[in-house]
Amino acid sequence: MTASKSSRARNARAGARGGAARTGARGGTAVKDAAVKGSAGRNSGAARNGQVRTAATRNGAPERGARTPVVQDHPAPAGTGAAPWLQLTTFALALAGLGVSVYLTIAHFTEAVLAGCSESGLVNCTKVTTSPQSYVFGIPVAVLGLAFYLFAAAIMSPWAWRAARREIHLLRIASLVIGMGFVLYLLYAELFIIGSICLYCTSVHVITFLLFVLTIFAAAAWGLKPGAPWKLSSAAVRKLRLVPPPD
């Protein structure tokens, strides 16, 4: 009887130890499964985040922390030069000066009397056009005026005013400065050497002076390169943004 009880007690203790071992094994397996599931969840979340960042990058948005400036460049249209009224006015004045110069050149070589011009007193066109001062370096002043206004008609055209090259606008100013210097010399020669003036020559002088004033005004108001496109518009500068650093 006693041996039987002892045997049953030993069997009970052995069964209890086996149950605890099985319970521990099942608990360890559960912990391992939970760890695996958690790791898989983290990997899946990271993969999803990577896909989102990749998609955003494809759509043109830089990744966080890139610190790359995003510039939306909206190029401004090219300038059109000085105001249209000034372009047309200077072009018309240049054509008028060209017409008078052509007439003076023809009259010089044909020795014709200038129409409507007095031949005595202060206004004496023949005295002026036949004087030694009507030649400069052996070239008739009428021919020099013709060459100047041929150039002026081209440089004062609306197409030249809208040109993007700075050299064209500098050349326009330089030519008018030279032209005004020549006009001052001729006025001095007429008033203090010859003692008479020519109405046709005076009209050319007035036209040259007006072109000089308008050209200087245009340079002051619109600059020396009015037709050039801008490299970066103000709208593009305002839209310059830096991507914030990563958290």
| Res 222: pLDDT | 85
What CA–CA distance (Å, rounded) separates 160 from 172? 9
Between these two residues, 231 and 100, which has the higher pLDDT value? 100
Contact between 78 and 222 (Cβ < 8 Å)? no
Residue 45, pLDDT > 70, answer: no
- Among the ranges given (10-24, 83-97, 230-244), the one the predictor scored with the smallest mean pLDDT: 230-244
Between these two residues, 106 and 229, which has the higher pLDDT value? 106
* Relative orientation angle of helices 141-155 and 166-188, to the nearest 10 degrees: 150
Phi, psi of 157 (to 5 degrees): -70, 155
Of 181, 194, 104, nearest to 141 by C-alpha is: 104
Q: What is the DSSP letter of 226?
A: T
Phi, psi of 139 (to 5 degrees): -110, 130
Between these two residues, 141 and 68, which has the higher pLDDT value? 141
What CA–CA distance (Å, rounded) separates 233 from 222? 17
Q: How many beta carbons lie within 10 A of that of residue 191, not counting itself?
A: 12
Of 100, 198, 220, nearest to 150 by C-alpha is: 100
DSSP lists the bridge partners of residue 124 as 119
- Among the ranges given (15-19, 35-39, 127-131, 196-200), the one the predictor scored with the smallest mean pLDDT: 35-39
What's the average model confidence in pLDDT over 14-35?
Answer: 51
Contact between 67 and 245 (Cβ < 8 Å)? yes
What token pair was written down for 228? 């050039």
| Res 1: pLDDT | 46
- Among the ranges given (20-24, 125-129, 174-178), the one the predictor scored with the smallest mean pLDDT: 20-24
Contact between 166 and 222 (Cβ < 8 Å)? no
| Res 42: pLDDT | 56
| Res 225: pLDDT | 61
What's the average model confidence in pLDDT over 125-146?
Answer: 93
